[in-house]
Amino acid sequence: MGTRSREGDPLREQLDELAGAVRGTGEMQVDVAAGLRAMIVVRAAVESAAQRGAPVDVRHLLGDAGATETEIDVLTGTTY
């Protein structure tokens, strides 16, 4: 079994970034909110596909994931 190079491995790069941020020697390029928004978009696409292209309420998905109303407003850009 050969040794697999970690260079160019996106997961490894993210873990290295996280480790640097925890140690105080670097910063995350993508913040938690941006990561969560990306994950919710993917989940909404999967749910929509499962429902034959039906619209999906992203606010509902965020609520199901445990986000508060304030967090949902911030993440969806609907702060009042």
Residue-wise pLDDT tens digits, 50-65: 999 999 999 999 998 8
| Radius of gyration of the chain, Cα coordinates, nearest whole angstrom | 17
**Are 33 and 74 spatial neighbours (Cβ–Cβ below 8 Å)?**
yes
Residue 47 pLDDT: 93
* Confidence at 30, pLDDT banded by 50, 70, 90: confident
Average pLDDT over every residue of 71-78: 86
Q: What is the pLDDT of residue 2?
A: 46
Residue 73, classified by CB atoms within 10 Å of its CB into exposed (0-12), middle (13-18) or buried (19+), is middle
Q: Tell me, what's the pLDDT at 53?
A: 94
Tell me how far apart the 2 most distant CA atoms of the chain are, in Å. Answer: 57
Residue 10, pLDDT > 50, answer yes
